[in-house]
């Protein structure tokens, strides 16, 4: 008998390639009221690119959004099908009217709809990425109130991700057999699954899209780069990786140390890049800053520290 697949409790973070760094900070901190917890750089490539992190009050796994601002580098992505397209955030029930007004005050247009019997508020990041606040009845994660958002309206964290696919069948198989997703629910062109617990950011919504051309998979302004799952331990991460490879999903990376967590990346059959992330013993958001000081100092991986002044001079100035 085969061993049971390791349990994934939910998501870990979501990472996007955006435009202006200042626009990104203004959107996530000033408009959405999220906590700015880290300012560092992209590990990959030779061009200095910020890596900015935002979270709820506690920086929980499944409550962190991270961004690469590519405007200054001039690298553009293309949104399309066979690509992660929608950032879904968990908001308290009854909060959407508040959020519609707050977003409007910050110049962000929004509209209310109902999907899978839940109200949601849809809007866009300044670079065009699609966002939705989804009402959650019982989400215990603490929203951040430091940006003037009352606690009973503050965003809990990630609700999930919307992936546009030309056909959902292979993604249903992958998320069920290799991520442990539960039963599927269908509504129109959407197929919904959940990985892990209800309040851990594990919703996957597959949107059947046979109209758009395939989107880009490179780093590039205006696109989601990857969606990370919380593998919890390096042992679990290994088991999940070996299971995927054994099934033939060999477009999968070796272990990469991202300082705050360790990562393995796999290209899903629906095109979305998924990550298996582990916040290891030497990592975590407080490995280089105290809990009260998160996001205040420009952090660099050790291999870039000798180039601190050079790198910082090439990055966009941002006010936080």
3-state secondary structure the chain: CCCCCCCCCCEEEEEEEECCHHHHHHHHHHHCCCEEEEEEECCCCCCCCEEEEEECCCCCCCCEEEEEECCCCCCECCCCECEEEEEEEEEECCCHHHHHHHHHHCCCCEEEEEECCEEEEEEECCCCCEEEEEEECCCCCCCCCCCCCCCCCCCCEEEEEEEEECCCHHHHHHHHHHHCCCCCEEECCEEEEECCCCCCCCEEEEEECCCCCECCCCCCECEEEEEEEECCCHHHHHHHHHHHHHCCCCCECCCEECCCCEEEEEECCCCCEEEEEECCCCCCCCCCCCHHHCCCCECCCHHHHHHHHHHHHHCCCCCC
Lowest mean pLDDT among 99-113, 135-149, 219-233: 135-149
Q: In the prediction, which pLDDT does 4 show?
A: 77
What's the predicted TM-score (pTM) here? 0.96
Lowest mean pLDDT among 35-39, 181-185, 303-307: 303-307
The candidate with the shortest Cα–Cα distance to 82, out of 222, 233, 209, 218, is 209
Per the CB < 8 A criterion, the answer to whether 214 and 271 are in contact is yes
* pLDDT exceeds cutoff 70 at 2: no
CA 184 to chain centroid, in Å, comes to 22
* pLDDT exceeds cutoff 70 at 1: no
pLDDT single digits (tens) 124-181: 999 999 999 999 988 999 999 988 999 999 999 999 999 999 999 999 999 999 999 9
pLDDT single digits (tens) 65-97: 999 999 999 999 999 999 999 999 999 999 999
Q: In the prediction, which pLDDT does 229 show?
A: 98
Q: In the prediction, which pLDDT does 3 show?
A: 63
The candidate with the shortest Cα–Cα distance to 29, out of 106, 130, 133, is 106
| Mean of all residue pLDDT scores within the chain | 95
Per-residue pLDDT, averaged over 23-43, amounts to 97
Per-residue pLDDT, averaged over 13-25, amounts to 98
Classify residue 128 as left (phi > 0), alpha (psi -120 to 50) or beta. left
Interstrand relation of 130-136 and 118-124 (parallel, antiparallel or unpaired): antiparallel
pLDDT single digits (tens) 35-65: 999 999 998 888 899 999 999 999 999 999 9
Q: In the prediction, which pLDDT does 176 show?
A: 96
Confidence of residue 261 (pLDDT cuts 50, 70, 90): very high
**Residues pairing with 132 in the sheet:** 88, 122
């Amino acid at each position: 008998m085969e061993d049971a697949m390791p349990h994934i409790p939910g998501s870990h973070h979501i990472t996007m390639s955006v435009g202006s760094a200042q626009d990104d900070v203004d959107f996530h901190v000033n408009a959405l009221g999220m906590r700015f917890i880290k300012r560092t750089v992209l590990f990959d490539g030779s061009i200095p690119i910020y890596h900015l992190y935002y979270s709820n009050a506690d920086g929980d796994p499944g409550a962190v959004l991270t961004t690469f601002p590519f405007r200054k580098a001039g690298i553009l992505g293309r949104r399309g099908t066979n690509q992660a397209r929608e950032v879904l955030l968990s908001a308290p029930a009854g909060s959407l009217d508040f959020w519609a007004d707050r977003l409007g005050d910050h110049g962000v247009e929004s509209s209310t709809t109902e999907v899978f019997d839940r109200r949601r508020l849809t809007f866009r990041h300044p670079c065009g990425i699609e966002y939705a606040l989804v009402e959650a009845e019982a989400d215990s994660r603490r929203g951040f109130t430091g940006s003037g958002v009352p606690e009973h309206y503050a965003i809990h964290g990630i609700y999930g991700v919307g992936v546009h696919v030309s056909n959902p069948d292979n993604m249903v198989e992958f998320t069920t057999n290799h991520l442990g997703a539960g039963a599927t629910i269908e509504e129109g062109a959407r197929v919904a699954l959940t990985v892990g617990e209800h309040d851990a950011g594990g919703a996957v919504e597959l949107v059947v899209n046979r109209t758009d051309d395939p989107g880009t998979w490179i780093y590039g302004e205006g696109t989601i780069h990857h969606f990370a799952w919380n593998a919890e331990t390096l042992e679990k991460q290994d088991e999940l990786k070996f299971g995927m490879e054994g099934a033939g999903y060999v477009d999968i990376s070796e272990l990469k140390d991202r300082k705050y967590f360790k990562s393995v990346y796999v290209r899903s059959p629906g095109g979305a890049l998924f990550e298996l992330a582990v916040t290891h013993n030497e990592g975590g958001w407080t490995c280089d800053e105290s809990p009260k000081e998160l996001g205040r100092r420009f952090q660099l991986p050790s291999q870039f520290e000798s180039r601190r002044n050079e790198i910082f001079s090439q990055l966009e100035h941002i006010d936080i």
